[in-house]
Structures are given as structure tokens and as C-alpha cells.
Structure 1
Amino acid sequence: MERVYIGMGSNLADPEDQLRSAVQALAQLPDSRFVGVSGFYQSDSLLPGQPRYTNAVAAIDSTLPPLDLLDALQAIELDQGRERHERWGPRTLDLDILLFGDRLIDEPRLQVPHYHMHARPFVLYPLAELAPASLKLADGRSLSQLLADCPFIGLERITA
């Protein structure tokens, strides 16, 4: 099994409930074992005019191939009302594979490590709650260095 970290975000339809439902769905994934979830964080949307986001990171151990896991995550999104009208629009649920073991994945549908995680405090700080301090990404960057380069600005931790 490989450790997979999954970024979770929502800014529609009761975001905290959306994330709690996503955690329940992740715990039911085939060929996988749910490990844990970070606290929930709120932050402003990256785009003006959208509601604030609630974010968290979950960890699972899985034997699913990466694209099969991506398909399963997108099915969870759809089950929770996700509509894909625009790339950066508001959403009921967004599930992103951040890290997949020590793999470096560059597929048309999936890039791991997640291509923008290094610049997103709403990803890095929840990830740091679950990942070991010594975590190194497949591309050689360390989580501790990413945190040092991405200050805890604009985040509000809303759950323990």
C-alpha cells in the first residue's frame, strides 16, 4: 500500500458538511484504508466574488492505481453535487491527489505532486498535520521547506 494525501475543498452547500461526507466516502474506498484527516481551515477564494473555502487534507493507504483512485475521487465529487462548468468556479467538493507515495506522476489528467500545492497554505498547513516533518516530495522538495516559503496568512483553523 502507498500513502496518498488528498486535498479537500468546498465553498458551496455547507462546506463543513461536504468535507465530513467526503471523509466518510474516503473511508469506504475499495483497496484502501483511511488513515486520518487534518483540521478544517477557512480561507478566501483565490478568485474575487466567490464564497470562502473550507479545506482539509486526508490521508489514505491504497493499492489502487493512481488514475483509478482519481476516478473514484471524481465519483465522490459527483455524488456530492459537483458540477464542472468552469475550471476555477465555486464547488460543492473538490478532491485533489496531492501526493501518491513517492511517485512523480505527469499524466494529462493527473500531476503529482499537485502542481500548485507549494504555493497554497490551505494545502500545506493541513498536510503538515498528517505528514511526518521529514516528508520529502517526489521532486525532492521537503515539506518543511515548503512551509517556510509559504506563510500561514489568510487561514483560519476552524476545527481541532
Structure 2
Amino acid sequence: MNPSILQGTRKHLIHQLVFFDEQYSLFFDQYVRDYGREKQMVDDCIQRYKQTLEQLLAKDDSALYESLKAVALLGSSVRVLFEEDGFEESFTVVFPTDSDPDHNRISFLSPIGRQLLLTAPHNRIVLESPVGRQQVLVREISFTYMGGFSVQ
């Protein structure tokens, strides 16, 4: 990977970490309606995500580059194989403000987004969505998204 692109990616991941450190309560109030089970689920997800970012950012550039293909982050494109029918589809996991279902950009707070965040290639997971449960194989992960994010 081009060193300047990797530097931009590192900077983007740092901004994500800073965002969750500084804007967490604002973000949480905006997007989490249920302060019971959902609150705990989202909080656990974000805490695991922050820990993962801290571990990745501590790596040198070469190791960071390899990690971008090994774990689904906010901004990762995740290609999955639906095992029942052999159909493949890619989803990009994004912040809620950047979601666009028509272009398979899904919020990490959505049911599918939560299940894909922090997954790894070759993992088999059951995606639960409003239309049912489907077993998928994670085929490939690539960090593709360098856009911004904000609380609206």
C-alpha cells in the first residue's frame, strides 16, 4: 500500500478513536433509543471496537496494512458468501450518518452491521436481519472508506 494512503488510513482510524473518546455521550444519545439491553449491547460493541483500534494503531505500518485485511472496521468492505444459495455480496460498515442501503453501506449499529464489525475472513456467522437468519462465510475484508463522520 502507498505510504501516504496508509498514513491517511492511520489518521482516519485515530480520528475514529478520538471521536468515540470525546463524542461518545453525544453519539449515544443520538442513536441509542433503548437504555436497557440495546444500550449494553452497543456499549460493549464500541468498547471492543476501541480496544481493537488501539491494538491496531500500536502496530508498525506493515502490520497495520495486513490487519486492515484481517478485521472488519468502520470503513471496511466485507464480502460474504450466503452459503444456502451461493450468492456473494459486499457490505461496507460505516457510521450511521454515512449509511446508504442502496449502495450496501450499512451502519455498524444495524443488526447486520453489528454482526460484521470486528469479524475476520473465513469466519462463519449467522446474519440476523428483518427477513430472517442466514449463514454466511466471510470471504474477504478490505479497508475502503476514508470519508468523514459526524453526529447530526
* Same fold flag (TM > 0.5): no
Which structure carries more relative contact order (alpha carbon 8 Å, separation 6+)? Answer: 1
Greater Rg by CA: 2
